[in-house]
Structure 1
Amino acid sequence: MTTVTGTGAGSGARVRTRTPLSYDHGTGTTPLLGDTIGENLDRAIAAHPGREALVVADGPRWTYAEFGAAVEELARGLLGIGVARGDRVGIWAVNCAEWVLTQYATARIGAIMVNINPAYRAHELEYVLNQAGVSVLCASLSHKTSDYRAMVDRVRADCPRLRSVHYIGDASWDALLAAGRTVAAGRLAAREAEISCDDPVNIQYTSGTTGFPKGATLSHHNILNNGYFVGETLGYTERDRICIPVPFYHCFGMVMGNLAATSHGACMVVPGPSFDPAATLRAVAAERCTSLYGVPTMFIAELGLPDFASYDLSSLRTGIMAGSPCPVEVMKRVVAEMHMAEVSICYGMTETSPVSTQTRRADDLERRTGTVGRVMPHVEVKIVDPATGVTLPRGTAGELCTRGYSVMAGYWGEPERTAEAVDPGRWMHTGDLAEMREDGYVRIVGRIKDMIIRGGENIYPREVEEFLHTHPQVSDVQVVGVPDQRYGEEILACVVPRDPADPPTLEGIAAFCRDRLAHYKIPRRLEILDTFPMTVSGKVRKVELRERYGAAGHR
């Protein structure tokens, strides 16, 4: 960028060169979709009626025509029990065919589906049901240690707007479907004709670290276009088969997975109700999947299986790794040993539908591991000074903001909290610290709240984590700041060792870092763990690590 100053263009003019600002916008020749989700699904059914749409391990296997019929059956059932346009329908379930049907059936009738975290307990369930005003709840009966029916019974008296609960695999689910048999097809068509692509279709509760979670309200236009452009960036066609072990409750599963698939006539493959590394690789091999999704810890678990080499993964070409930064060594193995030469890194947040930046299929290893890609089509990103809001020069760390079709309508029923996140210019403030490089690729350096300030020095955990991933005894690592009387904060490395019988020592970690990291970035504390505390969407709960190991006197 150049700025010309002076009174004329003659020899007296002065030319001053300025570093380009950290702003970029996604251009492209493909226009945004103007469909509702139901209209877009109809296009896929008409174009690919005989191709497989949904395959669930130990469950149904439906073509697009069969999937469309099943969606319509549930949509009529919801109409039959009196669900009106704009009513909130909760889905509290693990990954299963009925979850996907609920997603598309609610969209068809203009209802708003409320995603409820399967890990929630009764107190959290009660909050979401009341905060969103859920009138109909679709739920699993149980999963692992969770008895969903018992928890619903515990809170139902305190949820006055909840009038109907239907459990998957139970007579109550059969009754829901039966309620639609007297609903004429014309009634469903008439309801669909009332729906706009700008209508809210989904409320997703963000996993807040303080207070109750916030319900991000998303429209057909938000999530359909985001899924579509993620799929376009991956080169999806009707020949792709996408293995989705990430939870549908989260936008990774239902937007980047389901909507990316159906908007391209591709097949959704569900390996199980929750993540299991062996079940995931079995599904990839058996269904000849071309794409695989996961957070880095999922890929690490798959690569770590004792019989990993026995799975035929040769059908894979692409996939998505998101949720947290990908270590270089993990990415090398995913490309070389899982055949995912076109694997993509995505960055985003629930409030932005979710993806704002993504690496491209031809990007090299450095871009896939050192950045989270560049801006998506029809989206803007900028990096600002968190204190002033001024856009910073490229190469300078600040808060990442994004604007465009993908930004949520707001937090359900909470205008004050919405105003704290979305400014008057419609920029979503992510809370993430990032840098924009000269080439437009974005590097995440941490969360504003995760940045460690040790003796006045700013330390970004990602940098230390990336380095420690090269330690021969380290399988996975998370770095957090914990209170320290002398320095304010001190660096704690939480390590999952490659060999539990031979974990690294603090002295060994320090020696490994010495002369390679600045002295103030070297961990002063070490905890050896079997696993990290995780959210249901696969993100490490750093706040829990800080609380667990930052308590006074803990050593």
Structure 2
Amino acid sequence: MSLARSQWQAVPPAALDEAVIGDVLRRAARLGPADVVLTTIGSGGEHSWTAARLLADAEAVAASLLRRHPVGSHIATFLSNGPHAVLLQLGVALAGMVLVPVNPKSRPPELEHALTLASAVSVQVDTGGADLVRSVVSRLPDPPEVVVLDEDPRSLLGEGEPAALPAVDPDSLAQIQFTSGTSGPAKGVRIHHRGMVDTAHAFARRIGLPPGGVWLNPMPLFHTAGNVLGVLGALWQRAEHVVLPFEPGAVLRVLRERAVTLLSAAPTLLHLLMAQPGFPAGRFGSLRVVFTGGSTLTPRMVDTIESGFGARLSVTFGMTETCGCALQTAPLTDSDEVRRNTVGLPIEGTDVRVAGPDGTVLATGQRGELLVRGSRITRGYYGDPEATARAIDAEGWLHTGDLAEMDIHGRLRIVGRLKDMIKTGGENVSPEEVEDVLAGHPDVERAAVVGTPDERWGELVVAFVVPSGAAPQPDIEALDVYCRQRLAPFKVPRRWHVVTELPMTASAKVRRAELRERAARPHP
């Protein structure tokens, strides 16, 4: 396909009999009841489920919930990766209720905001987070029940007669997930069953592995990467989904000891794994695919990850508002050039266009805002019609706020964020362009660039640099010269900060608002 305009008409999604989350689980149990489809590893030990047992346990969780709450109730979770998170995700869906997964690292004001906004009637929490949850709930005018779970997964199943499970509408609300909150209060994204099912199916197809295998997933299950692409994607694949909290040593042990075929991890987590002493570069015999997303990758980073893990990389672009995936490279069939330089084609059922400020579709190769539309797009933000209207236009296009370029084949490059554009001396500077240059220097592991107010220039370009192992303290003058050889003078950072790490959100995005605050402090 060759394009003259930056617009991609969706390939229709595959016809699916499975329209709701419960159907995907039932399909796995029907096609391979004895297949192991879930293994959890954590402080409570290791637990595994066949597809038949996982369906039975999820139905028991649903029945237990229905004995206490009506269909449509909002059930919050405050849980790390483990069996409770998966069983509640599936059980809440089977019960026709709405899951509200909250980051277990949230501070009290963030948790209070989530519970209040989402009108949760129950909070399911493990013993480690119980005191914090009780403290927050005690301050709420209409407090939800607090259910403290012990380490035994069967504590969720309850006792009593099986309940008749409701018929669930594919277009009904399945989850309220909270945005990463890089600036301002987190918004509650409304995610429906059809969007989650379609996205997980399209994602698994684009990965291209045969049915079965072992998917290792340390990504957080309160986020779409973990519970849509991970939980539901693995069920579509009928793969053994190995879930554990991210801890480098534990993840590497699983990679060494099990026949893992797919590893899911954000770029930051992949770098932490490769930095471990004794990392067996390129020696994971069964590993075929590493899946990542959440931040822009340079060609050098793609090469480093692929050589380090000895596997092909699948890069996604997605948001909570797109169920975690809208664009994706095909790891087994895309060329090296495509995997190194793009985020691939839109997945099935996704319309895409690159538009100018007035909404006009731009010519191929021009830079503009990425707009997406289709079955996986959120219906809006819970309790916030104004924010919904700002994000989704009358034609159903979600305005992502990301700057992108489309090539003649429909593949896209993400080149920045509209709101992050730096305006200095009347010129626009894309932070990502400067970051890409810095990432090419051997003394730089990662870099983030922001603007800070300046009376004369409007804004100054400020760089935060994480040194590579080769240079614990980079030579700033050398970096300045390196940038001036590759960038126009107005794009070269005027101030430099050497840091040990960059502040990240749970979905592995740089907290630029925090860096802007640091950049605005008096400079020595």
Q: Do they fold alike, i.e. is TM over 0.5?
A: yes
Distance 1:120 1:102 in 2: 19
Name the structure 1 match of 2:306: 335
Q: Within 5 Å, which residues of 2 pair with 1:274-293?
A: 275-293=246-264
Q: Over aligned residues, Cα RMSD in angstroms?
A: 2.1
Distance 2:475 2:15 in 1: 55
Match 1:93 to one of 56, 75, 79? 79
Name the structure 2 match of 1:431: 401
Distance 1:503 1:351 in 2: 39
Residue 33 to residue 483, structure 1, CA distance change in 2 (3 Å): farther
Of all paired residues, the percent bearing the same amino acid is: 35
Distance 1:59 1:523 in 2: 49
Name the structure 1 match of 2:297: 326
Distance 1:296 1:163 in 2: 36
Contact conserved, 2:281 with 2:308, CA < 8 A, in 1? no
Name the structure 2 match of 1:6: none
Letter in 1 for 2:302: M
Name the structure 1 match of 2:169: 196
Report the 3-state secondary structure (helix = DSSP H, G, I; strand = E; otherwise coil) of the residue aligned with 2:465. Answer: strand
Deviates more, 1:125-134 or 1:459-468: 459-468
Name the structure 2 match of 1:498: 468
Contact conserved, 1:328 with 1:369, CA < 8 A, in 2? yes
Match 2:365 to one of 377, 395, 398? 395
Name the structure 2 match of 1:30: 14
1:135 aligns with 2:108: no
Letter in 2 for 1:118: P
Letter in 2 for 1:283: V
Contact conserved, 1:205 with 1:216, CA < 8 A, in 2? yes
Distance 1:371 1:418 in 2: 29
Deviates more, 1:125-134 or 1:276-285: 276-285
Report the 3-state secondary structure (helix = DSSP H, G, I; strand = E; otherwise coil) of the residue aligned with 1:308. Answer: coil
Gaps of 5+ in 2: none
Cα deviation for residue 348 of structure 1 reads: 1.3
Contact conserved, 1:88 with 1:132, CA < 8 A, in 2? yes
Distance 1:117 1:175 in 2: 22
Letter in 1 for 2:503: P
Report the 3-state secondary structure (helix = DSSP H, G, I; strand = E; otherwise coil) of the residue aligned with 2:114. Answer: helix
Contact conserved, 1:295 with 1:539, CA < 8 A, in 2? no
Distance 2:197 2:143 in 1: 28
Q: Within 5 Å, which residues of 2 pair with 1:104-503?
A: 104-142=90-128, 148-169=129-150, 177-178=157-158, 181-184=159-162, 187-189=163-165, 191=166, 194-270=167-243, 272-273=244-245, 275-309=246-280, 312-341=283-312, 343-361=313-331, 362-386=333-357, 388-499=358-469, 502-503=472-473
Contact conserved, 1:134 with 1:161, CA < 8 A, in 2? no
Cα deviation for residue 175 of structure 1 reads: 6.7
Report the 3-state secondary structure (helix = DSSP H, G, I; strand = E; otherwise coil) of the residue aligned with 2:399. Answer: strand
Report the 3-state secondary structure (helix = DSSP H, G, I; strand = E; otherwise coil) of the residue aligned with 2:237. Answer: coil
TM-score normalized by the length of structure 2: 0.94
Distance 1:140 1:72 in 2: 21
Residue 211 to residue 332, structure 1, CA distance change in 2 (3 Å): closer
Deviates more, 1:347-356 or 1:515-524: 515-524
Larger Rg: 1
Match 1:50 to one of 31, 34, 38? 34
TM-score normalized by the length of structure 1: 0.89
Distance 2:472 2:144 in 1: 56
Deviates more, 1:354-363 or 1:89-98: 354-363
Gaps of 5+ in 1: 3-18, 143-147
Distance 1:297 1:400 in 2: 24
Name the structure 2 match of 1:65: 52
Match 2:61 to one of 74, 81, 91? 74
Report the 3-state secondary structure (helix = DSSP H, G, I; strand = E; otherwise coil) of the residue aligned with 1:188. Answer: coil
Contact conserved, 1:137 with 1:162, CA < 8 A, in 2? no
Residue 523 to residue 210, structure 1, CA distance change in 2 (3 Å): closer
Cα deviation for residue 370 of structure 1 reads: 1.9
